[in-house]
Structure 1
Amino acid sequence: MKNLFKTWNKISLVKQIIIGLLIGIILALTVPEQVSGITILGDLFVGALKAVAPILVFFLVMSAISGHKSGQKTNMKSIIILYLVGTFAAGCVAVIASFIFKINLTLVESASDITPPSGITEVLKTLVFNVVANPVDALLNANYIGILTWALLLGVALRFASDSTKSMLSDVAEAVSQVVRWVIKFAPLGVMGLVFNAIAANGIETLFSYGKLIFLLVGAMFFDALVVNPIIVYIKTRQNPYPLVFKCLKDSGITAFFTRSSAANIPVNMKLCEELKLDKDTYSISIPLGATINMGGASITIAILTLAATHTLGQTVDFGTAVILCVLAAVSACGASGVAGGSLLLIPLACSLFGIPNDIAMQVVGVGFIVGVIQDSCETALNSSTDVLFTAAADIANKKKLAKQ
């Protein structure tokens, strides 16, 4: 048994996850009733990630800000601009793809017990109130906007603390990061349980019935990852972006695909930034921040499902409204982490732009939950990998600028 564990540990995490994925599919298709108990593995894995991720963001950001020394320069302004441009560009990709490949949905009665935001004003209001939320309440409810705000404020305040206090914060941040790494070690078992549950409950044919929608969502995300983002990086760095793009997708995107949590993928991204020899004072802040506001995948999901609803209802969308949808999808996506239900819950908000009734919009949300097994994984992979990609692009551009001076 000891030798078996040693052999297993020598296999890379990605290969371990693929093995867990295949076992989950085989069990779901052959003996679903006999081994139904393995669904608990998926629930435990997701529960552990949800539990530790808010604490991780809180201590990482607070430790990074408190340890920042006066006079040290960071590229945060450039990175934030890249985050916003990337999220807006993703929305544009989704809108163009939806016009080229028009999808009609088979609407389902689902998610009727969820109350979506009634308008962009409510979304902005929610974001503002999330900023001033009680810090304990923010941690309990995984309110990442509130967590980020309190971590920034306490980090600034603790810049004047003693070195021993800052060292303690750094140690706590590292300890929480290690806990996340331990949890991710169990990803193969968690993925096995999640895949088994998804196929056993819905049937693999259910996913096939929404194949066109899944292909459009995944295709748009791949196009954004392999064409649009490389163009953005090239404009910023003036060098071949693809070695960096593929590195980020391989080392960050694949792990995020299976953990389905940008926040839980932060330690993976931090390690990747360290391997790329990026400025620690910058990436220790930009990576947790990106997990909160860099949401290109969410922007794609919101735009595609909204336009699929308009096509299903036979509505015509003009150019001006499409541009407004790009902006709305980008703004909503940036605030998705602060709204219960994430990107899917913001679909009714975008649907309201076209006068689509709420009961129809919530049926679209129901469709989103069905394809969410694949959609959410790809969305998280895109979101998380671009956190490192844009941080690295800003760092490369800054080093080139300094070399010229």
Structure 2
Amino acid sequence: MIERSSSFRAPSLVLQIVIGLIAGIVLAMVWPAGATAVGLLGTVFISALKAVAPILVLVLVTASIANHQQGQKTHIRMILVLYMIGTLAAAMVGVAASFLFPSTLTLKTVESAMSAPSGIGEVLKTLLMQIVDNPVHALLNANYIGLLAWAVGLGLALRHASQTTRNLVSDFSDAITWVVRLVIKLAPLGVFGIVASLLAESGLGALKDYLHLLAVLIGAMLFMAFVGNPLIVAVVTRRNPYPLVLRCLRESGITAFFTRSSAANIPVNMELCRKLGLHEDTYSVAVPLGATINMAGAAITISVLTLAAVNTLGYAVDVPTALLLSVVAAIGACGASGVPGGSLLLIPLACGLFGISNEVAMQVVGVGFVVGVVQDSAETALNSSTDVVFVAAAEQARGRA
């Protein structure tokens, strides 16, 4: 009887998500009205992830630092270096792809109620203000930079507390983690609802006028995912990088593709790090930090769409300017919010390098929202899966994993 039941194990979460994806596509084709209705499942799933992520970050980081053992290394410095190298490399890949396969846009007037930052200084100022944010406000608005700052401060203070208090914090962290795992189990239903409603309401017909631009964007992201990141990991770890890279894309990238939010995917990445056997003191800090500053996909989006606007206007771009654009795109990407379309509002910042007016730049942002049905999903998948790739690579390089 035991042997019989063991042969009918539930399929893995990834397989369940794929089944949900296929079911969503079929429902959208067969019964569009019903597909729109089940979109509520996707909304609930994403909302649940966004609800648990801020408290997870605050509690887990606090507990990890409070119970950190003296002399235990976390390799955060190395992970930060990998984040910076990966984001800058992605920006350069985006620039190179735009030179090899130049794109042009059909610019139209686009209304937008959102404001874009006026310069790098404003981006850095915003990051600084996030650090000193009120903790309650940071929780309510999912300000992960502010939450990290408060978690680090609380964790350091609690290191001097009694063992009973530190155990209580650790138990609370375990309880929140249990809730997160419960939410993650809803991923197949969430993906089913997201895909069905998206195809039923929008379809992919709106993308036909921008197929070339999409091809450049997705091609650059795929190159970074399957060539750029593995090359960085191979240099750092001196191991075959593809088992790690492919697993991260499968278990983190797929979910991120549909949630379209690096912030919402934090719980998924935390669980993946746990399954990979990574040290909690490391990933509890590095993963939420990566969701904020490790933005390879955003760097590609900013550089490619900016150069598409430049080509449309007939401006010439020399190599030094292209390199400067790569740096600006990388820095700007670090200031992109971990929500759907977060990178698009940094495009006017990069366009300012070429003297492109804000009115034209916001039209480019509008184009970005049109192609965002696919672009933003692929961007988030690259961003989020790379967080775990670099955390694991840093630990492998030190012989921990």
Return the TM-score normalized by structure 2: 0.91
Give the aligned partner of residue 199 of structure 1: 199
5 Å matches for 1:4-403?
10-33=10-33, 35-110=35-110, 112-337=112-337, 342-399=342-399
Q: Is the 8 A contact 2:291 2:338 kept in 1?
A: no
CA-to-aligned-CA distance 1:83-117 (integer Å, 9 cap, x gap)? 11111111111110111111112335445111111
Q: Give the whole-Å Cα distance in 2 for the aligned partners of 1:39 and 1:339.
A: 19
Letter matched to residue 206 of structure 1: A
CA-to-aligned-CA distance 1:248-276 (integer Å, 9 cap, x gap)? 22232223223333333334333433343
CA-to-aligned-CA distance 1:263-309 (integer Å, 9 cap, x gap)? 33334333433343333332332222222221111111111111111
Q: Is the 8 A contact 2:341 2:376 kept in 1?
A: no
Unaligned runs of 5+ in 1: 1-5
Q: Give the whole-Å Cα distance in 1 for the aligned partners of 2:359 and 2:30.
A: 37
Structure 1: 4+ residue segments shifted above 4 A: 6-9, 338-341
Give the aligned partner of residue 3 of structure 2: none
Unaligned runs of 5+ in 2: 1-5
Q: Give the whole-Å Cα distance in 2 for the aligned partners of 1:213 and 1:82.
A: 28
Cα distance change on mapping 1:14 and 1:106 into 2, 3 Å: farther
Q: Is the 8 A contact 1:88 1:299 kept in 2?
A: yes
Letter matched to residue 260 of structure 1: R
Q: Give the whole-Å Cα distance in 1 for the aligned partners of 2:219 and 2:189.
A: 28
Q: Give the whole-Å Cα distance in 2 for the aligned partners of 1:399 and 1:171.
A: 29
Q: Give the whole-Å Cα distance in 2 for the aligned partners of 1:93 and 1:304.
A: 9
Q: Give the whole-Å Cα distance in 1 for the aligned partners of 2:9 and 2:266.
A: 22
Shift of 1:57: 1.6
Q: Give the whole-Å Cα distance in 2 for the aligned partners of 1:341 and 1:375.
A: 9
Q: Is the 8 A contact 1:256 1:377 kept in 2?
A: yes
Q: Is the 8 A contact 2:14 2:251 kept in 1?
A: no
Q: Is the 8 A contact 1:49 1:261 kept in 2?
A: no
Q: Percent identity among equivalent residues?
A: 60
Q: Is the 8 A contact 1:187 1:259 kept in 2?
A: no
Q: Is the 8 A contact 2:233 2:390 kept in 1?
A: yes
Q: Is the 8 A contact 2:217 2:304 kept in 1?
A: yes
Q: Is the 8 A contact 1:133 1:146 kept in 2?
A: yes
Cα distance change on mapping 1:273 and 1:51 into 2, 3 Å: closer
Deviates further, 381-390 or 334-343:
334-343
Shift of 1:82: 0.8
Cα distance change on mapping 1:284 and 1:51 into 2, 3 Å: closer
Deviates further, 35-44 or 134-143:
35-44
Q: Give the whole-Å Cα distance in 2 for the aligned partners of 1:310 and 1:8.
A: 57
Q: Give the whole-Å Cα distance in 1 for the aligned partners of 2:280 and 2:112.
A: 45
Deviates further, 94-103 or 143-152:
143-152
Deviates further, 86-95 or 370-379:
370-379
Deviates further, 312-321 or 340-349:
340-349
Return the TM-score normalized by structure 1: 0.90
Q: Is the 8 A contact 1:126 1:339 kept in 2?
A: no
CA-to-aligned-CA distance 1:330-357 (integer Å, 9 cap, x gap)? 1111121389952111111111111111
Q: Give the whole-Å Cα distance in 2 for the aligned partners of 1:346 and 1:177.
A: 33
* Structure 2 residue matching 1:183: 3-state secondary structure: helix
Deviates further, 188-197 or 372-381:
188-197
Cα distance change on mapping 1:337 and 1:67 into 2, 3 Å: farther
